[in-house]
Chain A
Amino acid sequence: DADVTQTPRNRITKTGKRIMLECSQTKGHDRMYWYRQDPGLGLRLIYYSFDVKDINKGEISDGYSVSRQAQAKFSLSLESAIPNQTALYFCATSDLRQGSKTQYFGPGTRLLVL
């Protein structure tokens, strides 16, 4: 079983709709992240959480919100989707408590906003 799972894997929605992308991990890591990837732009950080009660904005948080429901779950919401939010979305985890600075990624969600 995958350590980091994302649902859904693909989603098509319309402008103005609210959608939620979910991420779950079985790695026991304390830190979780949401990134988006656009062609030619690499991965950019949207939000991150170092603990259940800790939420921080990344470099491109406008138009997004997150919820850390439990240590293992971190969801990303688009309150009112717009076409330029069409992208690949990745969740990642890490655990500095274990001395690891490496982030481990989920398989991604491909989102299309019409």
Chain B
Amino acid sequence: DQQVKQNSPSLSVQEGRISILNCDYTNSMFDYFLWYKKYPAEGPTFLISISSIKDKNEDGRFTVFLNKSAKHLSLHIVPSQPGDSAVYFCAASSEGSNYKLTFGKGTLLTVNP
């Protein structure tokens, strides 16, 4: 049973526009969520996180929104840049699991110049 789902395998946006990547989860015990970015031939790089006590966290061009009632989070990138083209993974964890990460399958974002 997949506890973290990224239902869009790919997303294509124009440079300068907003990119919105979505993630759904089923385990209500998850209390900490992260987004990672991965370029080919590199390891995942931590991007931004959010605790379940918040509904929004911002870091420069990146904002993560958490809707606990819907068990949904999203990553907004504004404005999108060609260098943002990568695979984005959503991950979730809980205190009960000692903060082991459960990953979604990833979304390939392509930002076109």
Residue pair B104, A42 in contact (C-beta under 8 Å)? yes
Main SS at interface, chain B: loop
CA distance A96 to B89 in the complex (A): 21
What residues of chain A lie closer than 8 Å to B42, measured between beta carbons?
107-108
Which single member of A40, A50, A105 contacts B43 (CB below 8 Å)? Answer: A105
Asked whether, in the complex, the Cβ of B101 is within 8 Å of the Cβ of A45, the reply is yes
Determine if B7 is an interface residue (Cβ-Cβ < 8 Å): no
Pair B45/A43 contact, Cβ less than 8 Å: no
User: Number of residues in A with C-beta < 8 Å to the partner?
Assistant: 23
Q: Is B44 a contact partner of A101 (Cβ separation < 8 A)?
A: no
A-B contact count, CB below 8 Å? 48
Q: How far is the CA of A36 from the CA of B46 in the complex (A)?
A: 17
B105–A104 contact, CB under 8 A? no
B82 → chain A closest CB, angstroms: 22
- The SS class assigned to the A binding surface is strand
Q: Which residues of B contact A4 (CB under 8 A)?
A: 43
Nearest Cβ on chain A to B26's Cβ, whole angstroms: 15
Q: Which of B1-37 contact A (CB under 8 A)?
A: 9, 32, 34, 36
Within residues 75 to 114 of chain A, which ones have a CB less than 8 A from any CB in chain B? 90, 92, 94, 96, 101-108
Beta-carbon contacts of A30-51 to B below 8 Å, as 1s and 0s?
0001000000111111001010
Q: Which of chain B's residues 65-113 have a Cβ closer than 8 Å to chain A?
A: 89, 93, 98-101, 103-106
| A104 / chain B contacts, CB cutoff of 8 Å | 46
A41, A96, A102, A106: which contacts B34 (Cβ < 8 A)?
A102
Known: A41-B105, A42-B89, A43-B89. A101 touches B43 (CB 8 A): no
Show 8 residue pairs from A and B whose CB-CB distance is below 8 angstroms, ordered by the A residue: A42-B103, A48-B100, A90-B43, A101-B49, A102-B46, A105-B43, A105-B44, A107-B43
> Which residues in A have some Cβ–Cβ distance to B below 8 Å?
4, 33, 40-45, 48, 50, 58, 90, 92, 94, 96, 101-108
Give the interface of B toward A (CB within 8 A): 9, 32, 34, 36, 41-46, 49, 89, 93, 98-101, 103-106
The 9 closest A-B pairs by CB, nearest first: A105-B43, A42-B105, A42-B103, A43-B103, A101-B99, A105-B44, A107-B43, A101-B32, A108-B43
